[in-house]
C-alpha cells in the first residue's frame, strides 16, 4: 500500500514564487555593497480572487530578530519592498504571505455597493474582521482602539451603509488592519542570503606592478620603493595597487630569464615559486623588506585612497618549509617523489601544487585559510587569488566564508581564465570579483554579447567582472600590433564597459608590444627578471589614464554595470550608454574598433534608456576631447579618428529651466 503524505494546511493558500534576488534557489548568496537599497521582490500567487498581502522579513549580520516591511504591489502578482544594506556581512531575507482577509472584504463589499446591493451582512462580517485585528494589536492601543471604533460603527444601522463602509475603509483603518494581519495560515519562504561588501567591490581601478622592479635600475626594489611610487599610482587615479607574491622565492629549479629552464646566479626567479629557508606564505621576501615595511606601505597607500592587494597563490617551491614539515600535503609520484606542477606541454619544476584531497586535508585547508587571516591581521583587505579554478570549489566556499566572517570587508579577485561555468561557480562560492574573457573580446558582436550576458540577472546578482587589457601573463595580439590607438581603445572599453578594471603597468602605460616567440607572453618578462622603467617618457599614457579614471569617479553612471547598447550602421563603431540608478548621471560611449582608420556611423539612440524625451534638445559633452554638441532625436552622427582619439565619452546634459526663466544644460 502506498503511503499518503500528510496534506498541507487547506488554509495556507498563498504561494511565494520567483523570489529575487536569488541565486540557484537560495543555494548561494546574492551580492550588494554597503549603502545599497536592496529590492526584494516575488510573485504572490493565490487561487480564486481573494486579495493577498505579504511582508518582507530581513535581518542584518548582528540582528537576532527579524525586521519587517509590508510588500507593495509592483505589477500584477509581483510584489516587493526594499531596505538599505547598512552593514557589511551576510544579510537574511524572506517573505511571509497570506490571504488579505480585510482587503478581500473591502473589495467585495465595494463592488456590491457600486451595484446598489444591500451589504448589511457584509458590514457585520467586516466588524468581526476588524475586532479580530484589534485583538492582534498587542501593546499598540491606538491602533486597537481605532479598529474597535470602526467595527462598532459598522453596526450603526441608523447610519447609511456607504458611510459606515467609508469609515471602516479610511486610510488609517486600512493601515492598522494591514499592520496586524491574521498570520495563522501564512506562508513563509525559505531564507535567502545577501552578502554586503565594501563599495570597492563594485567600483575599482586596479594597477598591478612588481615591487622588485620599483627600485633604481640595477637594484632589487623594496616595499619602501613601492611607497615612493604611490604618488605616481595615485596620480593616474587607481585605487587598488596589486602586488604579485611578495614572499621568499625558492632556489631549486629556479627559472631563468624568459622562463628558461635553468637560471644563472643573478636570476631572481618567479615570485609564484613561493617559499625558501627564509619562510613561506606568511613571510616577506628579505630583499623586499619586512612585515613592518608592508604595514607602513598599507598605511601610506590608504592615506592616499589606495588599497594594497597582494597575490595569494596556493603552491610551494621545493624549498618551502611546508615541503619538509608537511610532505603529506603534496601529491606524490609512484616513486615517492613530490609531483611538480604541469600543464602539458608546459612544466613548472619550480612549483609543487598542494594536494587538497590528501588524507590530511583538514589540516591543510585550515593552514591555507590562516594565510588569508594572517595578511588581514597585517592590514590587508584585498587579495588577487592565483588560479583558483585548479582548487576544489568546496574549499573556496568554506575558506572565503571563514575569512569574510572575521573580516567582512575583505575582497577577493579570482584570476581564473577557464571555462565560463567554472568561473561562474567560483563567483557563487564567494569570490568578490572575477577576471573575464574581455582580454580576447574585440569585435562589436563579441563585446555586445559578452557584456549583455554579464550585466543581466541572475549573473549580475553575484558575478562582478573585472576587465584587464593585459596581465603579466598576457600581451594580447591586438596590443602587439594595434599601436597607441589600440592601447587607448582597450583602456576606454575596459574602464567604461565594466565598473571594475585593471592594467598591468608600467608595460601598459608605456605601451610595451614585444612578445616572446610569436606568443601572447611578454619578452623579458618581469615574472623572471628585474626591469627598469622610464616613467617620465613623454609618450606615456599616464595622463590619459588619469583623465579616464577621473571621468569614472565623477560620473556615477560608470560605477556599475547596467548598460544599454545602441545600434550603429556598420561594425566599426560600438556605442553604449549607462545611467545611474537615480537617473541623474547619463554617459554615452562611442568607440572606433578600427585602430588604423577613421570611421563614421549613425547611432540609433535609445532615448528612453537615456532618460531623454523623443523631441528633446540635449547637450553631449565629450569629456575626452572636451567638445560640446547639441543633439535632438533618435539619430546621432559620430566620426572618430583613432589617430586623435579612438573613442568619445559623452556626458549627457538635459535642458533645465531656472527660476529666472532661461534655460541651461545640467
- pLDDT score for 658: 55
Share of the chain above pLDDT 90, in %: 91
Residues 6+ apart with CB under 8 A from 349: 253, 261, 340
**Distance (Å, whole) CA 530 – CA 523:** 13
In this structure, what CATH number is given to the domain that contains residue 238?
3.20.20.80
Residue 421 has pLDDT above 90, yes or no: yes
- pLDDT score for 314: 98
pLDDT level of residue 184 (50, 70, 90 thresholds): confident
Same domain, 448 and 590: no
Same domain, 420 and 527: yes
Same domain, 402 and 369: yes
Same domain, 88 and 63: yes
Residues 6+ apart with CB under 8 A from 434: 413, 414, 416, 423, 426, 427, 463, 464, 465, 466
Distances from the Cα of 615 to the Cα of 52, 608, 633, 634, angstroms: 42, 12, 6, 9
**Distance (Å, whole) CA 496 – CA 652:** 15
Residue 384 has pLDDT above 80, yes or no: yes
Query: How many CA atoms lie less than 13 Å away from 427 in the CB half-sphere?
Result: 28
In this structure, what CATH number is given to the domain that contains residue 168?
1.20.58.80
Residues 6+ apart with CB under 8 A from 27: 428
**Distance (Å, whole) CA 171 – CA 160:** 20
Mean pLDDT over 618-634 rounds to 97
**Distance (Å, whole) CA 666 – CA 664:** 6
Element spanning 97, H or E: strand 89-99
Distances from the Cα of 626 to the Cα of 75, 532, 585, 646, 666, angstroms: 43, 35, 18, 14, 16
**Distance (Å, whole) CA 405 – CA 365:** 16
pLDDT level of residue 218 (50, 70, 90 thresholds): confident
278 is catalytic: no
The count of structural domains within the chain is 4
3-class secondary structure per residue, 37-49: EEEEEEEEECCCC
Strand 30-33 versus strand 192-197 pairing type? parallel
Distances from the Cα of 258 to the Cα of 245, 387, 430, 514, 525, angstroms: 18, 21, 35, 12, 6
The reply to whether 327 falls in a domain is: no
Which of 196, 226, 259 is at the close of a domain?
196
Angle formed by the axes of helices 361-377 and 393-406, to 10°? 40
Count of CB atoms situated within 10 Å of the CB of 31: 26
Mean pLDDT over 393-418 rounds to 98
Query: How many CA atoms lie less than 13 Å away from 248 in the CB half-sphere?
Result: 20
The reply to whether 151 falls in a domain is: yes
- pLDDT score for 633: 96
- pLDDT score for 662: 53
In this structure, what CATH number is given to the domain that contains residue 95?
2.60.40.10
**Distance (Å, whole) CA 80 – CA 72:** 5
Mean pLDDT over 457-482 rounds to 97
Residue 664 has pLDDT above 90, yes or no: no
- Rounded to 5 degrees, what are φ and ψ at 608? -60, -45
- pLDDT score for 114: 95
Catalytic residue among 197, 386, 461, 509: 386
- Rounded to 5 degrees, what are φ and ψ at 392? -65, 140
The reply to whether 57 falls in a domain is: yes
Same domain, 398 and 512: yes
Q: What is the DSSP string of 180-197?
A: S---TT-EEPPPEEEEEE
- pLDDT score for 196: 98
Give the predicted TM-score (pTM) of the model: 0.93
Q: How many residues does the chain have?
A: 666
The reply to whether 221 falls in a domain is: yes
Residues 6+ apart with CB under 8 A from 370: none
Mean pLDDT over 378-404 rounds to 98
Cell of 658: 531656472
Count of CB atoms situated within 10 Å of the CB of 232: 18
Query: 135 lies in which domain range?
Result: 101-179
Mean pLDDT over 249-264 rounds to 93
Residue 2 has pLDDT above 70, yes or no: no
- pLDDT score for 663: 57
Same domain, 166 and 262: no
Of 3-7, 397-401, 451-455, 634-638, the least confident: 3-7
In this structure, what CATH number is given to the domain that contains residue 613?
2.60.40.1180
Same domain, 95 and 106: no
Distances from the Cα of 649 to the Cα of 203, 297, 588, 589, angstroms: 18, 35, 6, 5
3-class secondary structure per residue, 424-489: HHHHHCCCCEECCCHHHCCCHHHHHHHHHHHHCCCHHHCCCEEECCCECCECCHHHHHCHHHHHHH
**Long-range residue pairs from 452-460, CB within 8 A, at least 24 positions apart, any chain:** 452/563, 452/565, 454/498, 454/561, 455/561, 455/562, 455/563, 457/20, 457/21, 458/21, 458/22, 458/23, 459/424, 460/561
Question: Euclidean distance between the first and final Cα of the chain, in Å?
Answer: 76
Same domain, 90 and 32: yes
Which of 518, 553, 588 is at the close of a domain?
553
Same domain, 384 and 456: yes
- pLDDT score for 659: 57
Mean pLDDT over 61-73 rounds to 95
Residue 345 has pLDDT above 90, yes or no: no
Contact 481, 634 (CB under 8 A): no
The reply to whether 251 falls in a domain is: yes
17 is catalytic: no
The reply to whether 344 falls in a domain is: no
With CA atoms as reference, report the closest residue to 373 among 351, 347, 404: 404
Same domain, 518 and 600: no
Mean pLDDT over 155-181 rounds to 94
pLDDT level of residue 12 (50, 70, 90 thresholds): confident
- pLDDT score for 665: 64
Mean pLDDT over 643-661 rounds to 83
Same domain, 632 and 531: no
Catalytic residue among 319, 415, 509, 512: 415
Strand 67-70 versus strand 307-312 pairing type? unpaired
Angle formed by the axes of helices 420-428 and 393-406, to 10°? 30
Mean pLDDT over 496-503 rounds to 98
Residue 89 has pLDDT above 70, yes or no: yes
**Mean pLDDT of all residues belonging to the chain:** 95
Same domain, 627 and 607: yes
pLDDT digits (tens, 9 = 90+) for 113-150: 999 999 999 999 999 999 999 999 999 999 999 999 99
- pLDDT score for 217: 87
CA 329 vs. chain centroid, Å, equals 34
The reply to whether 322 falls in a domain is: no
Q: Is 272 left (phi over 0), alpha (psi -120 to 50) or beta?
A: alpha
pLDDT level of residue 660 (50, 70, 90 thresholds): low
**Distance (Å, whole) CA 288 – CA 106:** 75
Which of 148, 179, 210 is at the close of a domain?
179
The reply to whether 400 falls in a domain is: yes
**Distance (Å, whole) CA 439 – CA 469:** 5
| Of 90 and 11, the one with more pLDDT | 90
Please give the radius of gyration of the chain, using alpha carbons only, rounded to the nearest integer: 31
Cell of 195: 552578502
Residue 432 has pLDDT above 80, yes or no: yes
Amino acid at each position: 500500500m502506498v503511503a499518503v503524505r500528510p496534506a498541507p494546511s487547506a488554509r495556507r493558500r498563498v504561494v511565494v514564487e520567483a523570489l529575487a534576488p536569488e541565486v540557484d534557489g537560495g543555494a548561494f548568496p546574492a551580492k550588494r555593497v554597503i549603502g545599497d537599497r536592496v529590492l526584494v521582490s516575488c510573485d504572490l500567487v493565490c487561487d480564486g480572487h481573494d486579495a493577498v498581502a505579504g511582508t518582507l522579513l530581513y535581518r542584518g549580520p548582528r540582528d537576532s530578530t527579524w525586521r519587517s516591511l509590508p510588500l507593495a504591489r509592483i505589477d500584477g502578482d509581483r510584489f516587493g519592498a526594499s531596505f538599505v544594506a547598512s552593514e557589511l556581512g551576510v544579510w537574511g531575507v524572506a517573505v511571509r504571505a497570506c490571504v488579505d482577509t480585510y482587503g478581500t472584504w473591502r473589495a467585495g463589499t465595494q463592488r456590491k455597493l457600486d451595484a446598489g446591493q444591500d451589504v448589511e451582512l457584509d458590514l457585520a462580517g467586516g466588524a468581526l474582521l476588524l475586532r479580530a485585528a484589534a485583538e492582534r494589536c498587542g501593546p499598540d492601543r491606538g491602533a486597537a482602539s481605532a479598529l474597535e471604533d470602526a467595527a462598532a460603527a459598522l453596526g450603526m444601522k441608523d447610519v447609511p451603509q456607504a458611510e459606515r463602509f467609508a469609515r471602516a475603509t479610511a486610510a488609517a483603518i486600512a493601515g492598522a488592519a494591514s499592520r496586524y494581519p491574521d498570520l495563522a495560515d501564512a506562508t513563509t519562504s525559505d531564507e535567502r542570503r545577501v552578502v554586503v561588501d565594501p563599495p570597492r567591490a563594485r567600483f575599482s581601478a586596479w594597477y598591478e606592478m612588481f615591487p622588485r622592479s620599483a627600485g633604481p635600475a640595477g637594484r632589487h626594489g623594496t616595499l619602501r620603493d613601492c611607497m615612493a611610487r604611490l604618488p605616481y599610482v595615485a596620480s593616474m587615479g587607481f585605487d587598488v595597487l596589486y602586488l604579485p607574491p611578495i614572499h621568499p622565492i625558492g632556489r631549486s629549479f629556479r627559472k631563468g630569464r624568459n622562463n628558461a629552464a635553468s637560471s644563472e646566479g643573478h636570476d631572481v626567479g618567479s615570485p609564484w615559486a613561493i617559499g625558501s629557508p627564509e619562510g613561506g606564505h606568511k613571510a616577506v621576501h628579505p630583499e623586499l623588506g619586512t612585515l613592518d615595511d608592508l604595514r607602513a606601505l598599507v598605511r601610506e597607500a590608504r592615506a592616499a585612497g589606495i588599497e594594497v592587494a597582494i597575490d595569494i597563490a596556493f603552491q610551494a617551491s621545493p624549498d618551502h618549509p611546508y615541503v619538509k614539515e608537511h610532505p603529506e600535503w603534496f601529491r606524490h609520484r609512484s616513486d615517492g617523489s613530490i609531483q611538480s606542477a604541469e600543464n602539458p606541454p608546459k612544466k613548472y619544476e619550480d612549483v609543487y601544487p598542494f594536494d587538497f584531497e590528501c588524507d590530511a586535508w583538514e589540516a591543510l585547508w585550515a593552514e591555507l585559510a590562516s594565510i588569508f587571516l594572517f595578511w588581514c591581521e597585517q592590514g590587508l583587505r584585498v587579495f588577487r587569488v592565483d588560479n583558483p579554478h585548479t582548487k576544489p570549489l568546496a574549499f573556496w566556499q568554506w575558506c572565503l566564508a571563514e575569512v569574510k566572517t572575521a573580516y567582512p570587508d575583505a575582497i577577493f579577485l579570482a584570476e581564473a581564465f577557464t571555462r565560463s561555468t567554472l568561473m561562474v561557480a567560483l563567483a557563487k562560492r564567494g569570490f568578490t570579483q572575477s577576471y573575464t574573457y574581455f582580454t580576447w573580446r574585440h569585435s562589436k558582436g563579441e563585446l555586445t554579447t559578452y557584456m549583455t550576458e554579464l550585466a543581466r540577472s541572475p549573473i549580475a546578482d553575484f558575478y562582478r567582472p573585472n576587465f584587464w587589457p593585459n596581465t603579466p601573463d598576457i600581451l594580447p595580439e591586438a596590443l602587439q600590433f594595434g599601436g597607441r590607438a589600440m592601447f587607448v581603445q582597450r583602456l576606454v572599453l575596459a574602464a567604461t564597459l565594466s565598473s571594475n578594471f585593471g592594467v598591468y603597468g608600467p608595460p601598459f602605460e608605456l605601451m610595451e608590444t614585444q612578445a616572446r616567440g610569436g606568443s601572447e607572453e611578454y619578452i623579458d618578462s618581469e615574472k623572471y627578471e628585474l626591469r627598469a622603467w622610464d616613467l617620465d617618457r613623454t609618450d606615456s599614457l599616464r595622463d590619459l589614464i588619469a583623465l579616464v579614471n577621473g571621468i569614472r569617479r565623477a560620473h556615477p553612471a560608470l560605477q556599475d554595470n547596467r548598460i544599454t547598447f545602441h545600434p550603429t550602421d556598420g561594425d566599426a563603431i560600438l556605442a553604449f550608454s549607462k545611467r545611474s540608478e537615480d537617473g541623474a548621471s547619463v554617459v554615452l560611449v562611442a568607440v572606433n574598433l578600427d585602430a588604423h582608420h577613421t570611421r563614421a556611423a549613425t547611432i540609433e539612440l535609445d532615448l528612453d534608456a537615456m532618460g531623454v524625451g523623443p523631441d528633446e534638445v540635449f547637450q553631449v559633452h565629450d569629456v575626452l576631447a572636451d567638445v560640446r554638441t547639441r543633439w535632438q532625436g533618435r539619430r546621432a552622427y559620430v566620426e572618430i579618428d583613432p589617430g586623435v582619439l579612438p573613442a568619445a565619452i559623452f556626458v549627457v546634459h538635459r535642458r533645465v529651466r531656472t527660476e529666472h526663466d532661461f534655460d541651461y544644460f545640467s
